[in-house]
Chains A and B, each alone.
Chain A
């Protein structure tokens, strides 16, 4: 499939993907794992076919999960490589790229990812020693949801997950969606057919986008229409960061000045949300990294971010800012 078509479908799925799925529309993206970025043929998660497609499979697997309205193409760096390919080259990981309908509820995609990882671990050609989950933006929330559901369901794959790395993930929600919610509600109050039409059009956004407002990882959370005031590392949180996994957070900001950082974050996700609270939700200091002068999309393909990811996966401390 062409890159432009893939990108167009990803945007369409991000905006109305829940509608496409509900109506059985053929434009809805099915959740699939790929062995390479931009692949045409998804992996068949059965022993024979998988061994054929992954002849150099290693016991270290990294699964890259893209964010809203994108595909795995988001990971492609300027030199044509990506974080997965570089982790394969530098540390011997086998990279796998998830593609999914980002307009579905985050919890639904989390359940799909959990199923996919269960099928993958059953069919993988060699014993899996370690799984690293790497999520960009909404992809990080899908990872959290999948881990939460895997623990609930007693899935064996969860025991192989050593690290989860969240890149620009809105753990505390995305204010732009919350603003959109307020604006559409306000427009609906005005008794004017034109205003009502604008409100209806603005309200067309998908379930996935609406979930981003308060980072709702379960369908029942959005019904409450509010965020969680307790930390994501607190066990009382409905979908906490699981203590048996090492969690790493990368946050970016388009500027360096503290005021601009506080106002704009990485242009989509505020610094506070990407770091799960400005104190990193009590995670070890080395597990949270803030990189200035990077936008929300740029952090998915930045050499500097990759050096941090590589260091974490190698069990090293993240390089100092500006060191790469």
Chain B
């Protein structure tokens, strides 16, 4: 693996960690919020307005966590392109040499 492969790996790992972490927090958030909503849902006089609040709440959650994931992917995609460009530039700079310094030879 080259240095650039490692940078690509780090980028992918961070993107996956943010994505998985966001999903985990979202699950936690929804499960925690569901408890009071379930209680309110069981009280007939306020069940209907509570359901309305819940719909709005869930829509906001979708938007917030969806936005985090979207921004994460956009930043990750931009970084991936930047790394590819840097890699191409490094390749051009070493054009003509048999073995660019960042490249390890195959071993096994």
Contacts and interface: CB of A to CB of B under 8 A. Distances in A.
A127 interface: no
Interface residues of B, number: 22
Contacts of B9: 20, 25-28
B61 to A, nearest CB: 14
A163 B27 CA distance: 53
B79 to A, nearest CB: 13
B105 interface: yes
Nearest to B29: A193
A90 B106 CA distance: 32
Contact of B105 (A28, A44, A194): A44
Nearest to A191: B31
B21 to A, nearest CB: 10
B104 A193 contact: no
A43 interface: yes
A41 B105 CA distance: 8
A30 interface: yes
B13 interface: yes
A42 B107 contact: yes
Contacts of B31: 193
A32 B28 contact: no
B10 A45 contact: no
Contacts of B107: 30-33, 42-45
Nearest to A119: B108
B36 to A, nearest CB: 14
Judged by DSSP, the binding face of B is helix
Contact of B28 (A20, A42, A116, A197): A197
A26 B105 contact: no
Contacts of A49: 105
A234 interface: no
Given A193-B28, A194-B28, A200-B24, A26 B8 contact: yes
A291 B10 CA distance: 41
A152 interface: no
B89 interface: no
Interface in A150-207: 193-194, 197, 200
B10 A27 contact: yes
B95 interface: no
A25 B108 contact: no
Interface in B1-42: 1-2, 4-10, 12-13, 16, 24, 27-28, 31-32
Contacts of A193: 27-28, 31-32
Interface of A: 9, 20, 23, 25-28, 30-33, 41-45, 49, 112, 115-116, 119, 193-194, 197, 200
5 contacts: A26-B4, A26-B10, A30-B1, A31-B107, A197-B24
Q: Which 7 A-B pairs have the closest CB atoms?
A: A26-B5, A26-B9, A27-B9, A193-B31, A25-B9, A42-B107, A32-B107
Given A9-B6, A25-B9, A26-B7, 20 more contacts: A20-B9, A25-B13, A26-B8, A26-B10, A26-B12, A27-B10, A27-B13, A28-B1, A31-B107, A31-B108, A33-B107, A42-B105, A43-B107, A44-B105, A44-B107, A116-B108, A194-B28, A197-B24, A197-B28, A200-B24
